[in-house]
Amino acid sequence: MMSIPLSESGSLYSQLITRLRDVRDIQSAAAVLQWDRATYMPLGGATARGRQLATLRQVAHDKLCDPALGELLEQLEAQGQSYPYDSHEASLIRVARRDYDQARRVPGEFMARLSSHQTETYLAWAQAREESDFQRVCPYLEKTLALSQEWASFFPECDRPADSLIALSDEGMTSAILEELFSQLRGELVDIVQAIAQAPAPDSKLLQQQFSETSQLNFCKTLMERIGYDFSRGRQDATLHPFTTSFSINDVRITTRTDPNNLTESLFCSLHEMGHALYEQNIDPALEATPLADGSSSGIHESQSRLWENIVGRSRAFWECFYPRLQGLFLRQLGQSSVCDFYRTINRVACTPIRTAADEVTYNLHVMIRFELEVAMLEGKLSVQDLPEAWNSCYERDLEITPRSDKDGVLQDVHWYSQLIGGQFQGYTLGNLIASQLFETALKQHPEIPVDLERGQFTSLLTWLQRNVYRHGRKFTADELVDRITGMPIHPDPFLRYIRSKYGDLYKLDL
């Protein structure tokens, strides 16, 4: 099955592969159970499902923490260093060591407590959100905060409590680095948003008509196939909170939602999840069933969803090719409009309360608010009880709006109510920055990409991404990967250049 060549210490290395594959298989089984919960599971199944997931996670955690695995890694340490840094062997030993060291810090009984708390909290949140009643979920969230602080306590070498949580999804990032990066970005973005707010806004009525949901889904499917998503190794299903999940490099599934009164929901949600899925489907097959068969970090993963959703999917070039087809499908609704109308509409900038529906310019403001609040809660500077008020003040400060209710405010995102508090959001903004930074480099190396996009040809871009990003899976950290490709650390300038150029042009402003 594994095509990783065995090193001289063949049997030890293959023992490592086998142990890691068992862990991976159980984690993948848990992912199937979660996918089913979000797509097809009947309501009645919820309690048992929560318990089954907790059991699987416990088994995976126990196997990952097995001291025999630690010994094996110890024995393979020198061997691993004798291989090139980017080889399968060296990378696998390095990343497995990191996972092992991290898992060993967290007691199994904590994982069990956390898992059952998360299941309860998720259910409470779903109801609280429905009723827009933060108080219903507040005690759960207080316990989540305590658990998150307990998690942080397992990593006393970190300067600040959020750091160990950030490292979980964005290895190498810290609260301090992110605060620095975000404060620069926020300043610039708030100015850009204010300038755009003064300019006349395009109409959004074009998108707000009746569109058959089946036709929407079929169109999305055709688009995704054309771009390169392989449906023989994946599928698309409906869900409430869309996500992408992978059970193997050859089984990477997208979920999406449609709105019969808004075309953008399914279109951009599908392109977003497809970006994640292209990454996972194009990991080197030799890494199958190892801990390297994953994205590098939350930021790199998000860079791929945002690149395909926004840089490609909201570009003029892309719709020059596909708008006529979309019009053909929805002749009555779109027949009278031009590609220019459509392009302006899908890139309308507006200060609205919902993160997932936000445009490219305001989006990062939503994210940075959440990051700021997470850090404040973890550091004891903000109580959970005061969270809704703090949330609304931040929105007033950065976006000059106040959510009508907690449903449109602090209850909108599932993250804090299904995971830990801390490290949940920075990846979204890192993703936007990295997407622009990678795309700038791709254009330098392949100036033909924009013309190809206009022709509906995706091979040049996809091949470049496959070669530079996708195939490596989790071999490199985000910093390493971005530096290897662009010769620079992660930086906000390419993103700001992209936004200034695109939206300056769209709004006829000198940003």
Asked whether position 397 contacts its own copies by CB under 8 A, the answer is no
Asked whether position 55 contacts its own copies by CB under 8 A, the answer is yes
**Angle at the Cα of 445 (from 444 to 447), degrees rounded to 5?**
65
| Site residue total, its own copies (CB under 8 A) | 39
Asked whether position 386 contacts its own copies by CB under 8 A, the answer is no
What is the C-alpha to C-alpha distance for residues 265 and 256, in angstroms, rounded to an integer? 9
Residues 8-37: x/- map of binding to its own copies (CB under 8 A)? -------------xx--xx-xxx-xx--x-
Q: What is the largest CA-CA distance in the chain?
A: 69
Asked whether position 454 contacts its own copies by CB under 8 A, the answer is no
Q: Smallest distance, Å, CB 5 to its own copies?
A: 20
Asked whether position 311 contacts its own copies by CB under 8 A, the answer is no
Is residue 400 left, alpha or beta, with left meaning phi > 0 and alpha meaning psi from -120 to 50?
left
Q: Which of 246, 236, 292 is nearest to 269 (CA)?
A: 236
Asked whether position 118 contacts its own copies by CB under 8 A, the answer is no
User: Is residue 315 exposed (0-12), middle (13-18) or buried (19+ Cβ within 10 Å)?
Assistant: middle
Q: Which is nearer to its own copies, 49 or 325 (CB)?
A: 49
- Contact call for residues 92 and 69 (beta carbons, < 8 A): no
Residue from the set 140, 229, 247, 371 that interacts with its own copies by CB under 8 A: 247
Beta bridge mates, 201: none
Residue with tokens 């490290």: 423
Asked whether position 120 contacts its own copies by CB under 8 A, the answer is no
Q: Smallest distance, Å, CB 49 to its own copies?
A: 7
Q: Smallest distance, Å, CB 280 to its own copies?
A: 12
Sheet with 244-248: list strands edge to edge.
Answer: 236-238, 251-256, 244-248
273 catalytically annotated: yes
Beta bridge mates, 248: 251
Q: Smallest distance, Å, CB 121 to its own copies?
A: 17
**Stretch 216-235 residues interacting with its own copies (CB under 8 A):** 230-235
State the DSSP H helix or E strand holding residue 484, giving kind and residue range, or none if neither.
Answer: helix 478-486
Q: Which is nearer to its own copies, 54 or 269 (CB)?
A: 54
Asked whether position 240 contacts its own copies by CB under 8 A, the answer is no
The active-site residue out of 273, 280, 309, 440 is 273
Which of these ranges, 53-61, 103-111, 151-159, 370-378, lies near its own copies under the rule CB under 8 A?
53-61
Asked whether position 213 contacts its own copies by CB under 8 A, the answer is no
Residue at 296: amino acid letter: S
Asked whether position 1 contacts its own copies by CB under 8 A, the answer is yes
Q: Smallest distance, Å, CB 39 to its own copies?
A: 8
Q: Which is nearer to its own copies, 119 or 169 (CB)?
A: 119
- Kindly give, in sequence order, each residue whose CB lies less than 8 Å from that of residue 362, ignoring residues fewer than 6 positions away: 189, 193, 349, 350, 351, 352, 399
Q: Smallest distance, Å, CB 339 to its own copies?
A: 34
- The Cβ-side half-sphere exposure at 295, using a 13 Å CA radius, reads 26
User: Is residue 325 exposed (0-12), middle (13-18) or buried (19+ Cβ within 10 Å)?
Assistant: middle
Q: Which is nearer to its own copies, 1 or 332 (CB)?
A: 1
Residue from the set 131, 251, 320, 341 that interacts with its own copies by CB under 8 A: 251
Residue at 470: amino acid letter: Y
HEC profile for 259-325? ECCEHHHHHHHHHHHHHHHHHHHCCCHHHCCCCCCCCCCHHHHHHHHHHHHHHHCCCHHHHHHHHHH
Q: Smallest distance, Å, CB 3 to its own copies?
A: 13
Q: Which is nearer to its own copies, 42 or 84 (CB)?
A: 42
Q: Which is nearer to its own copies, 49 or 143 (CB)?
A: 49
Q: Which is nearer to its own copies, 59 or 401 (CB)?
A: 59
Q: Smallest distance, Å, CB 214 to its own copies?
A: 13
Q: Which is nearer to its own copies, 254 or 482 (CB)?
A: 254
Asked whether position 85 contacts its own copies by CB under 8 A, the answer is no
**Stretch 268-297 residues interacting with its own copies (CB under 8 A):** 288-289
Residue from the set 12, 38, 59, 217 that interacts with its own copies by CB under 8 A: 59
User: Is residue 145 exposed (0-12), middle (13-18) or buried (19+ Cβ within 10 Å)?
Assistant: buried
**Stretch 320-349 residues interacting with its own copies (CB under 8 A):** none
- Kindly give, in sequence order, each residue whose CB lies less than 8 Å from that of residue 157, ignoring residues fewer than 6 positions away: none
Q: How far apart are the first and last CA of the chain?
A: 54
State residue 508 phi and psi, 5-degree precision.
50, 55
Q: Which is nearer to its own copies, 247 or 319 (CB)?
A: 247
Q: Which of 186, 278, 33, 268 is nearest to 496 (CA)?
A: 186
Asked whether position 66 contacts its own copies by CB under 8 A, the answer is no
Q: Which residues are catalytic?
A: 273
Question: Which residues of the shown chain bind its own copies in the complex (CB under 8 A)?
Answer: 1, 21-22, 25-26, 28-30, 32-33, 36, 40-45, 47-49, 51-52, 55-56, 59, 230-235, 237, 247-248, 250-251, 253, 288-289
